[in-house]
Amino acid sequence: MDPLILSRIQFGANISFHILFPTITIALGWVLLFFKFAYNRTGNDAWMQAYFTWVKVFALSFALGVVSGVTMSFQFGTNWPGYMETVGNIAGPLLAYEILTAFFLEAVFLGIMLFGFRRVSNGMHTLATFLVAFGTTMSAFWILALNSWMQTPAGFEMRDGVAHATDWWAVVFNPSFPWRLIHMLIASGLTVAFLIAAFSALRYLLGDRAASMRKALATGVVIGAVLIPVQIFVGDLHGLNTLEHQPQKVAAMEANWQTRANVPLVLFAIPDEEARENRFEVAIPGGASLILKHSLDGVVPGLDDYIGDHPPVFAVFWAFRIMVGTGLLMLVVSWAAAWCLWRGRELPRPLLWLMVPMGLSGWVATLAGWYTTEIGRQPWLVTGVLKTADAVGPVSGSHVGFTLAAYLALYAVLLVVYLGVLVHLARKAVAEGDPEPAPAAADRALSQPAQPAE
Amino acid sequence: MGFDWPSALPLIFAGLMGLSILIYVVLDGFDLGVGILFAAAADHEKDTMIGTIGPFWDANETWLVLAAGLLLVAFPLAHGVILTALYMPVFAMLVGLILRGVAFDFRAKVPVHRKGRWNVLFFAGSLIAALSQGYMLGVYVLGLREGVGAIGFGFLVALCLAAAYTAMGAAWLIYKTEGALQEKAVGWLRSALVLTVLGMGAVSLATPLASPRIFDKWFAFPAMLWLAPLPLVTAGLFLLLWRRSAVLPHPQDRYALLPFCTLTVIFALGFAGLAYSFYPYVVPEKLTIWQAAAAPESLAIILAGTLFVLPVIIFYSIYAYRVFGGKATDLSYD
C-alpha cells in the first residue's frame, strides 16, 4: 500500500492515542492543586483522599502520555523527514523549548508529587504539584504554538525552499494560536471535569457515600457546568478566526460547495465529493450566513473557490458535527447535575447512569475537534508552505503497514486496560475507601506504583 | 580572528546532544537494567526493585526525548536519514519503552492476580528497549550499512548493551538496597560484566575496522600516544570493578556506590571514544555536523534557552535524587 496513506494513518493513530492523555493531565494537574489547596486551607482529610485517588489517575495518564509522546518525537524523523527539512528552523526551537521548559519540569517533580508527601514539607509538596501542573500547561503552550503555526504560518520567510524565522514573536503568537490554545485548555478542563464526575457517579451507583467522593463529584460537575458555555463561546470565536485565515476549512466544515449569500446551516447531509453536492441535506435556511457573517444574506466562501486545494469534505463535516453535538450534550448533562446539587438534592439515578459514559465525552469532543482542524488543513502539512505528500519519508509501504498494525493493536490493548484500571480503582475505592492521608499514621507509599498490596 | 558563531553552534549542539545521550544511557540504563533483572528476581523482591527506580524513571527517559529532540532540531537532515535507516529498530525500541512505561504503572494498579503478567511485560519492555538500542548502536557504528553482516553485528552489540544496562541496574541495586537482594545484585553485576567487556571490545574493534578513516584517526603516530589512556584506563576500571565487587557487599555497606560510579566512568570513556571516532560526522561518512545543522539563528535561540534552563534542570534533578536518596529497602516512602 501507499506509504503516504499508511504514514498518515499511523501518525494520526499515534497522535490520537497520545492526545487522550495530555488532555487529562493538563487540567488534572490544576484540579489536584485545587484539592491540595482545599486540604491546606480546611485541614479536611476528604480533600487529601480525593487528591490521593486522583493522583493515581494522573500518574497512569502521565505515563501513557509520556510513552506515546516519545513515539511521536521519533516519528517526525522515521516517517516525515521532509517536515523538519523544510520547517525545522521554526519547529525545532518550539519543540526544544517544550522539552526544556516543560518535559523535565513535569517528569522530575512528578516523582516528588507521587512519592514525596512524607519526604518533603507539605509546602514543597504543594509546590511540586504546582510545578507539574505548570509544566503540563507549558507543554500545551509550545506544542499548540507549533500546531497553530502549521495552520496559520507567520513571522518567517522562505530561502531556497527552507523556512527561516524572521520574527519569533509572530511565529509563536501566530493568528490562530490564542484561540486554539484557549479552546484546547478548556477542552482539557471539560474532559477532566466529566471524567471526575463519571468516576464519582460510578462510585455513588456502587453504593459509595464517602465525603471525598462527594467533593470530587461536586468539583467535576461545577467545573463542567462553568466551562461548557465558555467553551461554546470560545469555539465560536475560534471558528470565526478560522473563517478569516483558512476559509476552505470552514467551507468543508459547513459542506458549503458554492460561494454565495444566504448559506443554510446544514444539520445533516452526506457530502458527495464526486458530484460536489450534499445528499439527504437537512438545513436551516440562512443559518451558516447568520453564524459566520452575522447576517442572513452574508456571503460565505464556498468550496468552489478552492477546487483541488481543499480538505476532504465528508470527514471534516462530520467530525465538526460530532464535536458540536457532544458539546451540547455536555451542556445539558452538566447543567442538570449542577442544578440538582445547587438545590441540595441527591442526583437522580438515571442522570448518574448517564454521567458514567459521559466520562468519555471530553475525549470524543477533543478528538473530533482535532480531526476537524487537522484534516481541515489538508492537503497542506504547513498551510501554503509544505504539502503532506511532500514530507513523507522513503520507508517502504510494507514496513509502515507492519508497524501501523502493531501500534494499533498495542494502543487498543492499552486503552482497554487503562479504562479497566479506572473502573477497578473506582470499585476498590468503594470497597476500601480512598487512601488515608493522615501523615502521622500512613506508614506506606502514598501513591500506588510501589505498593505491594495493590 | 573573531569567534565564528555559525561554525561554533553546530559543534556546541553536537556536544549537548552527546551529553544528553550519555546522561540518558547512564540514567535510563540502570532503569532498563533493573527491568531486565526482573527475570532473575523473586516475586517479593520486585516491589523493592521498582521502589529503587520509581521516582526517577520518568525524568530519566526525558533525556532520551532531549537527545532525540536535539538531533531533530539541531540536525534535521541527519534526523531524517538516521531514523529512516533505523526504522524497524526504532519501532522496536518505542514498543519496548511503551511496554516498560505502562507496565510500571499498571502492575501496581491492576487487580492483584493480574500483577504477574505486567511484571513479565515490564521485563520484556525493558529488554526489548535495551536490545534495540544496542542494535542501533551496532548498525550506526558500521556506518548504517545494510546486509547480513551488519545485522549480525547489530545483534551482537544488542546483547552486549543489554548486558551493560543489566550491570548498571545491578550496580544501582547494590547502592539502593541491602540484605539478600543486595547480595544477589552483586552476583548479577559480575555475570553481566563479562558480556559488557565483550561488547565494549567488539565495538572498539569494529569501529576502526569498518572505516579506514576512523582507523587512521586512531592508529596514526602521535595521536596513538595520547589516545592510549582511553582504552587503558577503561581496562583498569573494569579490573578494579571486578576485584572490588568480589568483596561486596561490605559489612558497613561501604563502597555501595562504587560499582555504579565506576560503570558510569566506563560508559563515559566508551562514549568519548565513539565521539572521537565519528567526529565530525553525525551520519557516518555522509553528513558532517555542519552539513546537517539547522540555521544559525534557530540554533542561537535554542542555545539561549538551553544555557539558562539546563543548569536549572540539572539542579532540580539532583534535588529529586537527594529527596529520594538512601536505601529503598521497604516500600514505605516516608
Q: pLDDT tens, B168-190?
A: 999 998 888 888 888 888 889 88
Name the nearest CA neighbour of A89 among B294, B78, B5, B16. B294
A70:B71 CB<8 A: no
Q: By the CB < 8 Å criterion, does B88 face chain A?
A: yes
Residues of B in contact with A390 (CB under 8 A): none
Cell of A110: 512528578
Could you give the 3-state DSSP secondary structure of residue A284?
Answer: strand
Interface of B with A in 30-59 (CB under 8 A): 47, 50-51, 54-56, 58-59
B70:A96 CB<8 A: yes
B313:A91 CB<8 A: no
The confidence score (pLDDT) of residue A229 equals: 92
The confidence score (pLDDT) of residue A437 equals: 55
Residues of A in contact with B55 (CB under 8 A): 111-112, 114-116
The confidence score (pLDDT) of residue B4 equals: 77
B297:A99 CB<8 A: no
Residues of A in contact with B68 (CB under 8 A): 70, 73-74, 77
Number of helices and strands (H, E) in chain A?
Answer: 14, 6
Q: By the CB < 8 Å criterion, does B4 face chain A?
A: no
Cell of A389: 505528500
Name the nearest CA neighbour of B68 among A84, A297, A17. A84
- Give CA torsion, residues A98, A103, A104, A110, to 10 deg: 150
The C-alpha R_g of chain B, in whole angstroms, comes to 20
> What does the pLDDT profile of chain A (454 residues) look like in tens digits?
688 888 888 888 999 999 999 999 999 999 999 998 898 888 888 888 888 889 889 988 988 988 888 888 788 777 788 888 888 888 888 988 888 888 888 888 888 888 877 788 888 888 999 999 999 999 999 999 999 999 999 988 898 888 888 888 999 999 999 999 999 999 999 999 999 999 999 999 988 888 888 889 999 999 999 999 999 999 888 888 888 888 888 888 888 888 888 888 888 888 888 777 888 878 888 778 888 888 888 888 888 888 888 888 888 999 999 999 999 999 999 999 999 888 888 888 899 999 999 999 999 999 999 999 999 898 888 888 888 888 887 777 788 888 888 889 989 999 998 998 898 888 888 887 777 654 433 333 333 333 333 3
Closest Cα in chain A to B97: A67
Name the packing angle between helices B115-141 and B148-176 (round to 10°).
130
- Mean pLDDT on B97-111: 84
A103:B54 CB<8 A: no
The confidence score (pLDDT) of residue B127 equals: 94
A89:B298 CB<8 A: yes
- Mean pLDDT on B195-212: 82
- Determine contact, residues A300/A288, Cβ cutoff 8 Å: yes
CB count in 10 Å sphere of residue B193:
23
B297:A165 CB<8 A: yes
In Å, how far is B190's CA from the nearest CA of chain A? 27
Q: For residues A362 and A27, what is the distance between their CA atoms, to the nearest angstrom?
A: 12
The confidence score (pLDDT) of residue B2 equals: 55
Give percent of chain B with pLDDT exceeding 90: 9
Contacts of B192 (CB under 8 A, 6+ apart): B33, B163, B164, B166, B167, B170
Say which residue, B133 or A397, is predicted with more confidence: B133
The confidence score (pLDDT) of residue A371 equals: 92
DSSP β-bridge partners for residue A387: A380
Distances (CA, A) of A359 to A86, A133, A198, B83: 40, 21, 5, 38
Per the prediction, chain B carries an average pLDDT of 84
A450:B108 CB<8 A: yes
Distances (CA, A) of A310 to A180, A181, A248, A250: 21, 24, 6, 10
Phi-psi region of A364 (alpha: psi -120 to 50; beta: other; left: phi over 0): alpha
- Determine contact, residues A76/A83, Cβ cutoff 8 Å: yes
Per-residue pLDDT tens over the stretch B230-261: 888 888 888 888 888 887 777 777 778 888 88
The confidence score (pLDDT) of residue A454 equals: 30
The confidence score (pLDDT) of residue B333 equals: 33
Phi-psi region of A294 (alpha: psi -120 to 50; beta: other; left: phi over 0): left
Say which residue, A198 or B276, is predicted with more confidence: A198
The confidence score (pLDDT) of residue A436 equals: 64
Q: By the CB < 8 Å criterion, does B301 face chain A?
A: yes
Q: By the CB < 8 Å criterion, does B66 face chain A?
A: yes
Per-residue pLDDT tens over the stretch A390-440: 888 777 778 888 888 888 998 999 999 899 889 888 888 888 777 765 443
> Cα-flanking dihedrals φ and ψ of residue A257, to 5°?
-80, -20
DSSP β-bridge partners for residue A283: A266
A386-387 and A380-382: which strand pairing? antiparallel
